[in-house]
Chains A and B, each alone.
Chain A
Amino acid sequence: MDLLLPAMLTIITAATPLLFAALGEMITEKSGVLNLGLEGMMIMGAITGFVAVHLSGSVTVAILASILAGVFMAAIFALFVLKFHASQVPTGLALTIFGIGLSALVGQSMIGIAYNGIPTISIPLLSKIPVLGALLFEHDFLVYLSIAMVVAIHYFLNKTRAGLILRAVGDSHDAAHAMGYSVVKIRFMAILFGGAMAGLGGAYLSLAYSPLWVEQMTAGRGWIALALVVFACWRTGRVLLGAYLFGGISILQLHAQALGIGIPSQVMSMLPYLATIFVLVIISRDIAKIKLNAPASLGRAFHPSR
Chain B
Amino acid sequence: MWPRLVQRQIPSRAMVYLSPVLALFLSLLAGVVLFIIMGVSPLAALHAFFIEPLSTSYGIAELGVKATPLILIGVALSLGFKAGVWNIGAEGQLIMGGLCGGAVALYFYGHDGFHIIPLMFLAGISGGCAWAAIVAFLRVRFNANEILTSLMLSYVAGLFLNLMVHGPLKDPDGFNFPESRQFSDSALLPILFEGTRVHIGAIIALLAVGLGWIILSRTLLGYQIKVAGSAPAACEHAGFSSSKIIWTTLLLGGGMAGLAGTIEVSGPIGQLLPNISPGYGFTAIIVAYVGRLHPLGVLFAGLLLALTYLGGETAQILLNLPVAVTGVFQGLLLFFLLACDVLINYRIQFGQPALAVEKN
SS class, residues of chain B in contact with chain A = helix
**Contact flags (1/0) for A64-101 with B, using CB distance below 8 Å?**
00000000000010001001111101110111011111
* B324 contacts A by Cβ under 8 Å: yes
Task: Report the separation of the CA atoms of residues A270 and B158 in the bound assembly, to the nearest whole angstrom.
Answer: 9
Given contacts A80-B335, A220-B151, A273-B153, contact A287 B324 (CB under 8 A): no
* A226 contacts B by Cβ under 8 Å: yes
Q: Are B159 and A97 in contact (CB under 8 A)?
A: no
Q: Are A89 and B163 in contact (CB under 8 A)?
A: no
Segment among B93-101, B136-144, B295-303 that sits at the interface with chain A: B136-144
Q: Are B345 and A223 in contact (CB under 8 A)?
A: no
Given contacts A98-B331, A98-B335, A270-B160, contact A280 B149 (CB under 8 A): yes
* A56 contacts B by Cβ under 8 Å: no
* B322 contacts A by Cβ under 8 Å: yes
Task: Report the separation of the CA atoms of residues A270 and B163 in the bound assembly, to the nearest whole angstrom.
Answer: 11
Instruction: Please name all residues of chain A whose beta carbon is closer than 8 Å to the beta carbon of B345 when the two chains form the complex.
Output: 85
Q: In the complex, which residue of chain B has the Cβ closest to the Cβ of A103?
A: B324
Q: Are B143 and A287 in contact (CB under 8 A)?
A: yes
For this complex, into which size category does the number of interface residues on chain B fall?
Answer: 35 or more
Instruction: Please name all residues of chain A whose beta carbon is closer than 8 Å to the beta carbon of B152 when the two chains form the complex.
Output: 220, 223-224, 227, 273-274, 276-277
Instruction: Please name all residues of chain B whose beta carbon is closer than 8 Å to the beta carbon of A266 when the two chains form the complex.
Output: 159-160, 162-163, 166
Q: Are B360 and A184 in contact (CB under 8 A)?
A: yes
Instruction: Please name all residues of chain A whose beta carbon is closer than 8 Å to the beta carbon of B326 when the two chains form the complex.
Output: 101
Instruction: Please name all residues of chain B whose beta carbon is closer than 8 Å to the beta carbon of A184 when the two chains form the complex.
Output: 360
**B152, B322, B326, B341 pick with most chain A CB within 10 angstroms:** B152
Task: Report the separation of the CA atoms of residues A89 and B338 in the bound assembly, to the nearest whole angstrom.
Answer: 11
Q: Are B339 and A80 in contact (CB under 8 A)?
A: yes
Q: Are B334 and A84 in contact (CB under 8 A)?
A: no
* B346 contacts A by Cβ under 8 Å: yes
Instruction: Please name all residues of chain B whose beta carbon is closer than 8 Å to the beta carbon of A277 when the two chains form the complex.
Output: 138, 144, 148-149, 152-153
Nearest Cβ on chain B to A180's Cβ, whole angstroms: 13
* A267 contacts B by Cβ under 8 Å: yes
**Contact flags (1/0) for B142-180 with A, using CB distance below 8 Å?**
111101110111011001101100110000000000000
* B213 contacts A by Cβ under 8 Å: no
Q: Are B147 and A89 in contact (CB under 8 A)?
A: yes
Q: In the complex, which residue of chain B has the Cβ closest to the Cβ of A183?
A: B360
Instruction: Please name all residues of chain B whose beta carbon is closer than 8 Å to the beta carbon of A10 when the two chains form the complex.
Output: none
* B306 contacts A by Cβ under 8 Å: no
Instruction: Please name all residues of chain A whose beta carbon is closer than 8 Å to the beta carbon of B148 when the two chains form the complex.
Output: 223, 226-227, 230, 276-277, 280
A contacts with B, residue count (CB < 8 A):
50
Q: Are A284 and B143 in contact (CB under 8 A)?
A: yes
* B330 contacts A by Cβ under 8 Å: yes
Q: Are B360 and A84 in contact (CB under 8 A)?
A: no
Among B5, B156, B327, B357, point to the contact of A97 (Cβ < 8 A).
Answer: B327
Q: In the complex, which residue of chain A has the Cβ closest to the Cβ of B38?
A: A105
Instruction: Please name all residues of chain B whose beta carbon is closer than 8 Å to the beta carbon of A84 when the two chains form the complex.
Output: 5, 338-339, 342
**Contact flags (1/0) for B245-275 with A, using CB distance below 8 Å?**
0000000000000000000000000000000
Instruction: Please name all residues of chain A whose beta carbon is closer than 8 Å to the beta carbon of B360 when the two chains form the complex.
Output: 184, 304-305
* A102 contacts B by Cβ under 8 Å: yes
Among B162, B163, B325, B338, point to the contact of A94 (Cβ < 8 A).
Answer: B338
Task: Report the separation of the CA atoms of residues A76 and B167 in the bound assembly, to the nearest whole angstrom.
Answer: 44
Complex interface residues of chain B between 266 and 288 (CB less than 8 A to chain A): 282, 285-286
- Point out residues on B near A: beta carbons under 8 Å: 5, 7, 86, 88, 138, 141-145, 147-149, 151-153, 155-156, 159-160, 162-163, 166-167, 282, 285-286, 289, 322, 324-332, 334-335, 338-339, 341-342, 345-346, 357-358, 360
28 contacts between A and B (CB under 8 A): A80-B339, A83-B5, A84-B5, A84-B338, A86-B341, A87-B338, A89-B86, A90-B289, A94-B335, A98-B331, A99-B331, A101-B324, A101-B327, A101-B328, A102-B327, A102-B331, A266-B159, A266-B163, A273-B156, A274-B156, A277-B148, A277-B153, A280-B144, A284-B142, A285-B141, A285-B143, A287-B143, A290-B143
